[in-house]
Amino acid sequence: MSVLIFIDSSEGHVKKASLEAMSYGSAIAKQLNTTAEGVILGSVGDDLTALGKYGVKKIHQINNDSLNHFDAQVYANVIAQVAESSGAKVIVFSNNVDGKAVAPRLSARLKAALVSGASSLPDTSKGFVVKKSVFSGKAFAHISLNTDIKVIALNPNAYKVEAGEGTAEIVAANANIPSSKIKNTAVNKASGEVPLTEAEIVVSGGRGLKGPENWGIVENLAHSLHAALACSRPVADAHWRPHNEHVGQTGIAIAPNLYIAIGISGAIQHLAGVNRSKTIVVINKDPEAPFFKAADYGIVGDAFEVVPKLTAAIKKLKN
């Protein structure tokens, strides 16, 4: 019996969300008095042995070029083989784009109960109960998992990364890799200083900026904070900004430590995609903007006056 954690990677580097998943999975292993192991697919340039400091004792690696291109069906098949050979009873994913695609398929393949969007460690005092967010983060549900094998997808930024000491043993795993039914014809990569889904800080703009020609103040603030850029849906629909920067219920759901919203009124669809942010700062000249009700800090003022002064103050502080 073990806890198996899927270590997600991109372009040869382990994603931050996987560090959270390893810390979370290792904590579950301690609860169950067992060991935490990882599984990673494809070529990775990072030092995998160093991941032992996040609690994993062994990492099953399948270094096959065909796995460098993500295919949820293939990944689910291969991870199922590793789970069966390692005797894993709990399998942990990050509830990011890859995890959302693979975890349900793996659950069906292993006939395992699944909780997606877990927000805390399971309660094992009476069975195995996992807390998750529901209704776009407006409430919580407690789900009891009664199957022999259990699959959990952890919400990004829901569990603190806990690093200690130790190294992981890297094991070359054997698996039958099925042929992918997906053919890649082109890859268009989103550009940006910081990937939006991995960012600790996100600076976002809305229609209050009046046009794409004014986006420089948002970019300057984001650059001063080493933050990712984002926008509301109306901005993306108007083609002021690319759609890959659209955050909200119909865009990308994010959970940074700090989210700064500039000139965004705070419609319920937007809030649903950003309400898991640790701290929300709202800058808007309308004191009645709905976003202020969800904000931890609010500044009522003209963005064209407030944001440049805020950027200058941050640069001065850093210098």
Residue with tokens 């046009």: 211
Q: How far apart are CA 238 and CA 251, in angstroms?
A: 15
Does residue 186 belong to any structural domain of this protein? Answer: no
Blockwise average pLDDT, block size 10, the chain, 319 residues: 94 91 97 96 92 96 91 96 96 95 97 96 94 86 97 93 92 91 79 77 96 96 95 96 93 93 94 93 96 96 96 92
Same domain, 133 and 214: no
Same domain, 9 and 146: yes
Does residue 265 belong to any structural domain of this protein? Answer: yes
- Pair of tokens at residue 302: 């003209």
Q: How far apart are CA 161 and CA 182, in angstroms?
A: 34
Same domain, 157 and 208: no
Same domain, 78 and 209: no
Same domain, 168 and 211: no
Does residue 182 belong to any structural domain of this protein? Answer: no
State the total domains in the chain: 2
Element (H, E) at 142: strand 139-144
- Quick one: how far is CA 190 from the chain centroid? 17
Element (H, E) at 173: none
Same domain, 7 and 155: yes
Same domain, 160 and 31: yes
The per-residue pLDDT for 238 is 95
Structural domain range at position 214: 196-318
Model confidence pLDDT, tens digit, residues 141-163: 999 999 999 999 999 888 999 99
Does residue 251 belong to any structural domain of this protein? Answer: yes
DSSP state of 47: -
Q: How far apart are CA 22 and CA 18, in angstroms?
A: 6
Q: Specify the CATH number for the domain of residue 145.
A: 3.40.50.620
Same domain, 222 and 113: no
Does residue 179 belong to any structural domain of this protein? Answer: no
The per-residue pLDDT for 192 is 61
Does residue 188 belong to any structural domain of this protein? Answer: no
Same domain, 164 and 229: no
Same domain, 152 and 208: no
Does residue 313 belong to any structural domain of this protein? Answer: yes
The per-residue pLDDT for 193 is 61
The per-residue pLDDT for 133 is 87
Same domain, 53 and 10: yes
Length, in residues, of the chain: 319
Global pTM?
0.87
The per-residue pLDDT for 3 is 97
Q: Specify the CATH number for the domain of residue 257.
A: 3.40.50.1220
Model confidence pLDDT, tens digit, residues 238-259: 999 999 999 998 999 999 999 9
> Which of 83, 78, 101 is closest to 179 using CA atoms?
78
Same domain, 168 and 200: no
* SS3 label, residue 279: strand
